[in-house]
Chains A and B, each alone.
Chain A
Amino acid sequence: MSITDRVIAIIAEQAVLEPSDVTPESTLEDLGIDSLGLVESIFAIEEEFDISVPFNANEPQASDFDISNVAAIISGIEKLVSEKV
């Protein structure tokens, strides 16, 4: 599975949706994922890819990690995976 498919599978599971219902343009809000759901998704992503995602729930906009939609999340993760030593 590609990174995209793996991330979408995690997000879909959190949103209780089919992966086909999660598009790159979807925002977390569209998918009904709240702040707790986001923290859980990030945990699942970190476990899946063995990476650390810089994210503080108090200032979600402040970190380099863009969560504005699914495509942004995927590209952020691709970057973190490629930087992994």
Chain B
Amino acid sequence: MKRVVITGAGTINSLGHSVPDTLEAMREGRCGIAELEFRDVERLSIKIGGQVRGFETEGRFNRQQMSLYDRFTQFTLMAAKEAIVQSGIEFHGDLAARSGVVLGTAGGGVSTWDDNYRSVYEDGKNRVHPFVVPKLMNNAAASHVSMDHNLKGPSFTVSTACASSNHAMALAFQMVRSGAAPVMVTGGSESMLCFGGVKAWEGLRVMSKDACRPFSANRNGMVQGEGAGIFVFEEYEHARARGADILCEVVGFAMSSDASDIVMPSKQGAARAMSGALADAKLNADQVGYINAHGTGTAANDKTECAAVADVFGPHADDLMISSTKSMHGHLIGGTGAVELLACIMALRDGVIAPTIGYEEPDPECALDVVPNEAREAKVDVALSNAFAFGGLNAVLALKRA
């Protein structure tokens, strides 16, 4: 089995348009959640979100590209470019033929669906742009990354709701570890912050109208975000031979299915994914210093997740740190695990633990060290990243300091 390292990272989200900007915001505990701005927002009862601001497409993408790139694809391409430039890798010949792209998204081109349904239903038009289908399809982002960077190996998109990008990164990890591919570009993207996207979530009545406060007793729901996180997963010897800067090592993963409820989380399913990732990485529970929680800020997730952590880690649960950066960037749904992986990299590489902001009142059902409100310096050797999706599909990654 090969060792797998991360040699490049890229992102765009409500905290920043690059990895350095995002990590700075996380260190400072800044909140990217604000009033939503888009057409018909006044008809929503939920009016806040972690929206990407100040993102100009002009000068970045030409007219032809814009007719093909939904916002989730635009985010993906920005983040992929940052990651691949940082890794310093260029895909030619055999390397290009064997390297691919696996990305996660839950909704794909949601605003393209939204705009075009509005056009035919509300505006009564009988014609849509010829590229609606290639623009909205869930694999559009992965395909455009493959074209931009000459990646000709295994490429596809995974869709498992809020765990999409963790499932995608777990598959990319497996491919590099098994020797099937020397390099995989992986991560995820989401852009559901449009009228139809938020309206659908409103219906579930689990959204907060004011803030995302994970683990805090007065939490009252989740807040949506948008953006992308993209990484270069590379075989260790390949990275070392070309003198690449290694951000951290990916050492294990596990996936599990609750097989119980379409929306309610399960402690057992979450615990099996975390303990499975430790077993896969051949780690003891007490080696884990930090967990980037799924931490949605809903009543159901946070207490279930804390109970699962207590089950898996026993007394060590009180020693480790667990934070939810969704309090800052919101819940990026299918892209969330990818942006949250950045907090794990920051913990391992920089020794800075991103906080759970908006934390106001302790909840006895979430009695763990949630790194409330302020980032903390700490040396961490191993970090886990949790994602537990609607549908009961869980994926956890284990990372180690390089």
Contact = CB atoms under 8 A, between A and B. Distances in A.
A36 B220 CA distance: 17
Contact of A57 (B205, B209, B262): B205
B138 interface: no
A39 interface: yes
B203 A43 contact: yes
Interface string A41-67: 011000000001001111100100000
Contact of B208 (A39, A42, A52, A58): A58
B299 A58 contact: yes
A56 to B, nearest CB: 6
A56 B205 contact: yes
Contact of A58 (B45, B203, B263, B298): B298
B219 to A, nearest CB: 7
B220 A39 contact: no
Contacts of A58: 206, 208, 219-221, 298-300
* Majority-rule SS of B interface residues: loop
Q: Which of A36, A42, A55 has the most CB of B within 10 A?
A: A36
Interface string B190-231: 000000000000011111110000000001110000000000
B264 interface: yes
A6 to B, nearest CB: 21
Nearest to A60: B299
* Majority-rule SS of A interface residues: loop
A40 to B, nearest CB: 10
Contacts of A56: 205-209, 220-221
Contacts of A57: 204-206, 221, 298-299
Interface in A14-58: 35-36, 39, 42-43, 52, 55-58
Contacts of B221: 56-58
A43 B205 CA distance: 10
8 tightest A-B CB contacts, nearest first: A58-B299, A57-B205, A58-B221, A58-B220, A59-B220, A57-B206, A39-B205, A58-B298
Interface of B: 45, 203-209, 219-221, 262-264, 298-300
Given A43-B203, A58-B300, 14 more contacts: A36-B263, A36-B264, A42-B205, A52-B45, A56-B206, A56-B221, A57-B206, A57-B221, A57-B298, A58-B206, A58-B208, A58-B219, A58-B220, A58-B221
Interface of A: 35-36, 39, 42-43, 52, 55-59, 62
